Amino acid sequence: MASGMQLRTIARLCLADGTVFEGQSFGPLPTTVGEVVFTTGMTGYQEVLTDPSFRGQIVVMASPQIGNTGANTEDNEASTVHAAGLVVREGSDVASSHRASESLAGYLGRHNLTAISGVDTRKLVRHLRTHGSQNGAIGSAEPEALVEAARRARNMEGLDLVGEVSCREASVFDEPTPSEFRTLFAADAERPHVVAIDYGAKQNILRSLVDIGCRVTRVPASFSAAQVLAQNPDGVFLSNGPGDPAVLSYAIATTRELLGKKPVFGICLGHQILALAVGARTYKLKFGHRGLNQPVLNLESGRVEITSQNHGFAVDVASLPGSAHATYKHLNDGTSEGLSIPDANAFSVQFHPEAAPGPHDTLHLFSAFKQRMLRAS
């Protein structure tokens, strides 16, 4: 049992369009700015806060009560918090989980992350769905000052955030998923070498590659194709990450040069980079897909799979060249959720098959990547 009652002060979330939401502080309250987005997961807030793909974003939790399970030392997706702020309807000061080492409020304080509770998040989510994700500011200042701060904040379109979250040098990653949570197991002695290009990789994606028996080398996003190939990989993984994929000219060029040389697998931002590398286009969604309950249709099997997602940009399916074809589509809006480039032995998905927390419908994709590498070697 972990708890941590916090002194609450008046706080506001102000959007760039002038809309103001009142609440109370839930943790530290330095003024913060970022793109205001919402996620529909009922849990997984610790993974959300530490996911590098949320870099530069103020995250609204659509589920009304957040913090009941506290925070622990195992659920981080990175070594630090990447979200710019947190917005909740009701923040719990009490953590009633045997895994909790501290309350969520205590965790926020330790990471100096601005958070606000007492907000009508149902109204806020409806506003973002109607008017689109937009910049906002959280703080205790007067509304006029916070609105102005939101309007001055950098826009997500045209923004390269990968350099802020990528690793700085190549390193071996050999950490498996803790045994009590592991759902992928290596059933053979073959251990293909994967070079994972880190655009902001979640820990659980890299752990999943280790779980299926891969040797993993994590390399910076700035690595050229020659530097990647110098690692002598059996396959190349393109990770998730934040920001606008269209401005990542270095990543697109590297991926284009790697195609056909080694099997390639991309997730989330990696999916978008792969599409751009073959000449397709990307665009910004009105409010994105973020949550643990996103339904997609597997166009090859006809099976519906429930997925975990976190992205604000999408691939324009109509712009895919003849060398590529769609493999998944989102059942809510028909947007791109996967592609395959058979001649280059490359494929990608927009969602997160490691799905932690979440369902395990799409874990088969990791095994499919391993089989591609073994066949190509």
Dig out the tokens for 227 from the structure.
């530097």
Residue identified by tokens 């996103």 is 294
Please tell me the predicted confidence (pLDDT) of residue 358: 52
Please tell me the predicted confidence (pLDDT) of residue 93: 87
pLDDT digits (tens, 9 = 90+) for 104-119: 999 999 999 999 999 9
Q: Kindly tell me if the per-residue pLDDT of 3 is higher than 60.
A: no
pLDDT digits (tens, 9 = 90+) for 15-47: 999 999 999 999 889 999 999 999 998 889 999
Q: From the candidates 82, 268, 271, 330, give the one annotated as an active-site residue.
A: 268
Does residue 34 contact residue 58 with C-beta atoms inside 8 Å?
yes
In which band, very low, low, confident or very high, does the pLDDT at 372 lie, cut at 50, 70 and 90? very high
352 annotated active-site: yes
Please tell me the predicted confidence (pLDDT) of residue 219: 98
Sequence-separated (6 or more) residues with CB below 8 Å from residue 12: 20, 21, 22, 23, 116, 138, 139, 140, 141, 143, 146
Q: Kindly tell me if the per-residue pLDDT of 5 is higher than 70.
A: no
Question: What's the CA gap between 185 and 176, in Å, rounded?
Answer: 10
Asked whether the whole model's pTM tops 0.85, one would answer: yes
pLDDT digits (tens, 9 = 90+) for 122-154: 999 999 999 999 999 999 999 999 999 999 999
214 annotated active-site: no
Please tell me the predicted confidence (pLDDT) of residue 240: 98
pLDDT digits (tens, 9 = 90+) for 179-213: 878 887 776 789 999 999 999 999 999 999 999 99
Question: What's the CA gap between 109 and 296, in Å, rounded?
Answer: 37
The length of the chain is 377
Q: Kindly tell me if the per-residue pLDDT of 336 is higher than 70.
A: yes
Q: Kindly tell me if the per-residue pLDDT of 166 is higher than 70.
A: yes
pLDDT digits (tens, 9 = 90+) for 58-85: 999 999 999 999 999 999 999 999 999 9
More confident residue, 115 or 293: 115
Does residue 21 contact residue 12 with C-beta atoms inside 8 Å?
yes
- Domains identified in the chain and CATH numbers: 2-152 (3.50.30.20), 162-376 (3.40.50.880)
